[in-house]
Amino acid sequence: MTRQYFGTDGIRGTVGQSPITPDFVLRLAHAVGRVLKAQEAHPTVLIGKDTRISGYMLESALESGFNSAGVDVVLLGPVPTPAVAYLTRAQRASLGVVISASHNPFDDNGIKFFSAQGTKLSDAWELQVEAALTQEPVWATSADLGKTRRLNDAAGRYIEFCKSTFSNDLTLKGMKIVVDAAHGAAYQIAPKVFHELGADVIALGCAPDGLNINRGVGATHPQALMDAVLQHKADVGIALDGDADRLLMVDGSGRLFNGDELLYLMISERLARDEVVPGVVGTLMTNMAVEVALKAKGIEFVRAKVGDRYVLEVLHDKGWLLGGEGSGHLLALDKHTTGDGLISALQVLQACVGAQRTLAQLLSEVSLFPQTLINVRLQPGQDWQANTRLTAEWKAVEADLGEDGRVLIRASGTEPVVRVMVEARHAAQAQSCAERLANCLRS
């Protein structure tokens, strides 16, 4: 059975269009509730959300669906996605539910789930839910309906958890930090975390109105943060996305650092503390410079499919702790069970404060390889994998690059295009090689 509704990160779409409608979301919660009731007598689920205006509607639908199946609900209000993962585990709940479309614009929304252990759920569990969706609802009797309450101090509990991941021997006193919460789920929480650790905080993207999430700010629009850091003469800038599981950072010069660089810095800091790092997981898109630098330190590097879900799967298979992707989803599994933008930022700041060095100084040994990405739209019925000219040119380009670059060609999962990516030590070579390959597809 293939999944009809679940994608790589829950169920997501445009609000008001299937499946992000209140009637479907009610049925979804009822189906999930029935799956939970088959495993335990009195399940409890936690529901958190970001700041989209549609969150109110979807929260009510979820609450009704769960209650109708005899499942208790605890409402967390607007909190980051990783806060739901943490609180689900801390509260010994049966399941955590997040209403968010992450970095998407406000008119999208989605539903994603965390297990009782605060981890992403398996494909098998999602298939169980989809099977339950095909069945007629079984409404609980009045005496067996679920109840709902609100956890009023959810934000405070998560703030304390975040702070606990930062070294007790260090402080952020004397640092001026611009914190950009993308008008999203961390708009109240993120400034408090860094302020309570001693920093002078300038808040950006912390005034949500239900419609402005991710609009011109946050990790998907880092220019606003770069400008603010320079304007306020700050030491560092932190950009989160709408649900705060993604992180980009800016140094005092206004230079932007992506997830690949921040992951490498987190690894280097651990090595400096004589911690053993047996291996690291990136994705097919992770910059080759990071792989080269890690191998020079004797650390094994493995690439997973694009998406933090797949990075997490490989980390679990290998028994490793650290991984991530250039978009800013970073995983430190000894700190949290899922990717967390705030905790990742604290790990990076811990490295800077502990070494009394800037981001640029700590990353001086890693210079990212230039990447060229070209999207080539396919013609109806075009089988790009059967293109013999492309196959021959692909081999020729890889021979030209040798160990100083790489090629990645893959079909988009969302539109009829093939993505051609070439990475090389020099931008001109990356561009010319990518054009050679794209021309084969265009012809």
- The kind and range of the H/E element at 109 are strand 108-114
- Residue 228 in contact with residue 204, Cβ under 8 Å? yes
Which pair of tokens denotes residue 121? 């759920």
Which pair of tokens denotes residue 105? 């614009």
Distance (Å, rounded) from C-alpha 335 to C-alpha 325? 17
Q: Which of 260, 266, 321 is nearest to 292 (CA)?
A: 260
Bridge partner residues of 202 (DSSP)? 178
Strand arrangement of the beta sheet that strand 330-332 belongs to: 300-304, 279-283, 322-324, 330-332
CA angle (319, 350, 327) in 5-degree steps: 60
Q: Which of 57, 33, 29, 54 is nearest to 43 (CA)?
A: 33
Strand 176-180 and strand 236-240: the pairing is parallel
Residue 101's identity, in one-letter code, is A
Distance (Å, rounded) from C-alpha 336 to C-alpha 245? 11
Q: Which residues are catalytic?
A: 102
Q: What is the DSSP string of 124-171?
A: HHHHHHHHHHTSPP-PPPGGG---EEE-TTHHHHHHHHHHHTS-TT--
Distance (Å, rounded) from C-alpha 291 to C-alpha 279? 11
Q: Which of 216, 205, 215, 203 is nearest to 183 (CA)?
A: 205
How does 240-270 read in b/e, with b if 16+ C-beta sit within 10 Å?
Answer: bbbbbbbbbbbbbebebbbbbbbbbbbbbbb
Q: What is the DSSP string of 365-426?
A: T--PPPEEEEEEEPPTT--GGG-HHHHHHHHHHHHHHGGGEEEEEEE-SSSSEEEEEEEESS
Burial class of residue 100 (count of CB atoms within 10 Å of its CB; 0-12, 13-18, 19+): buried
Distance (Å, rounded) from C-alpha 418 to C-alpha 411? 4
